[in-house]
Amino acid sequence: MDPPLDLQPSMMVLPVWPKCCYRPRLLRGLLSTLMVLLIIRFLVSGGHEDLFSHSLRYFMSGRRHPTSPPLLPSSDDFLLRPPPEVCSPTAPSLLVLVVSAPRHATQRQAIRSTWGGARRAGKFTVQIFFVLGLPREPSLQTALEQEAAGHHDLVQGRFLDTYGNLTLKTLSLMGWAAVHCPGTLFVVKVDDDIFLNLPGLAEELEHHITLAPTYLGKIYWRARPKRDSRSRNYIPVSLYPEERFPVYCSGAVYVLSGAAIPILLGASRHVPLVPVEDVFVGLCAHWAGIVPQRLARLTGGEHFPPDRCCYQGILLSVHKVTPVEMAAVWDATTPYKEMCQAWQWALGYLRCKALAWMADQ
């Protein structure tokens, strides 16, 4: 017997989705995938830190202490300093102060011949100086004097250059900037093993030009003092009795507005002289009521493997970069926005993180 008419093979029809439904379903799938990638990028790049940093001002309001006169150095406090005309008649809008050590001549020269050779970045005029103390070896002072005569970019304070004196070095650089380069819009403090993406940083700072004092960097919060006397960051209870530090920015690189410098120098009269310089700046900011803000793509103390797109395109700073690596990734001929392909920009910080992870395997 033949099967019923509606079940005959020639008459059976499989359900087919209308073509009109393919595109909406495909679009929803693509949007969902894109949303997942954006969430991953948000978490990996520290977007949650960005939200946290912007909310700090509401939690820290009303904590500003009365402004004190800034603690300013005299001309006798510096053994070596650039000629007065470097910041006159008009101060640079972006002043970069590189914390260096007397023996780090190779690092200083690597910076001069790569990112530190810039005199403009975006809309900003740029001046770069190296800040250091006195060497332990008197013979090394002669070499520093010759270097200063050749480059006119050394600021040398009259204190022994040691790790324990980093706080004095920071006070020295802020004091020198306040006295000799008043009127600068931003002061960038950076270590001499940092690769700084000046064009990218300048573009970011254009959104932070304000009369209010500004403190920008990679934010640390809920950090605890080191109580082990064997640690080089040891802070005894007698010096700082609190269990946690206020929020502060990583000392590898941070940005202060010109308006913030004298306020922090005034606050330095009232806070303990802790030997951890980035914590000290954070304490001064906390006293003065200056709320630290996270600057996107400023990586602080993180290190990434040499990659031209990451160093000169996506990231604003990279830590622990050797002079050889600086030269290897430096390219002064290609605009920084053309360093990366479209897909590399789309993944951005996540891509650089993946490269760093693969380098550690």
Q: Could you read off the pLDDT of 266-316 as tens digits, one per residue? A: 999 999 999 999 999 999 999 999 999 999 899 888 899 999 999 999 999
Task: Give the CA distances from residue 135 to residues 176, 217, 272, in Å, rounded to whole numbers and listed in that order.
Answer: 19, 30, 26
Across all residues in the chain, what is the average pLDDT?
Answer: 85
Residue 293 to residue 51: CA distance in whole angstroms: 10
pLDDT for 331: 94
pLDDT band at 51; cut points 50, 70, 90: very low
Spatial neighbors of 208 by CB under 8 A, at least 6 apart, are: 186, 214, 216, 255, 257, 293, 295
Model confidence band, residue 42 (pLDDT cutoffs 50, 70, 90): very low
CATH of 70-294, picked from 3.40.50, 3.30.1120, 3.90.550, 3.90.1310, is 3.90.550
pLDDT tens track for 100-150? 999 999 999 999 999 999 999 999 999 999 999 999 998 899 999 999 999
With a CB cutoff of 8 Å and minimum separation 6, the contacts of 22 are none
Q: pLDDT by residue (tens digit) across 249-273?
A: 999 999 999 999 999 999 999 999 9
pLDDT at 25: 60
Q: What is the mean pLDDT of residues 166-185?
A: 94
Of 332, 275, 318, nearest to 119 by C-alpha is 332
Q: What is the pLDDT of residue 23?
A: 53
Q: Which helix (H) or strand (E) holds 355?
A: helix 349-360
* CA gap 301, 347 in Å, rounded: 21
Res 186 pLDDT > 70: yes
Percentage of the chain with pLDDT > 70? 82
Top-confidence residue, 93 or 87? 93
Please state the rounded mean pLDDT for residues 168-174. 95
Q: Does position 62 have pLDDT exceeding 50, yes or no? A: no
Please tell me the distance from the alpha carbon of residue 285 to that of residue 279, in angstroms, as a whole number.
Answer: 10
| pLDDT of the residue at 32 | 56
Predicted confidence at residue 219, as pLDDT, reads: 94
To which H or E segment does residue 293 belong?
strand 292-294
Of residues 69 and 270, the one with the higher pLDDT is 270
- Cα three-residue angle 135-136-142, rounded to 5 degrees: 50
Q: Does the pLDDT of residue 18 top 80, yes or no?
A: no
Q: Where are the domains of the chain?
A: 70-294, 301-360
d(CA 54, CA 178) in angstroms, rounded, equals: 27
Q: Which of 312, 315, 333, 336 is CA-nearest to residue 122?
A: 336
For residue 47, give both structure tokens. 């977007």
Nearest to 189 by CA among 177, 200, 180: 177
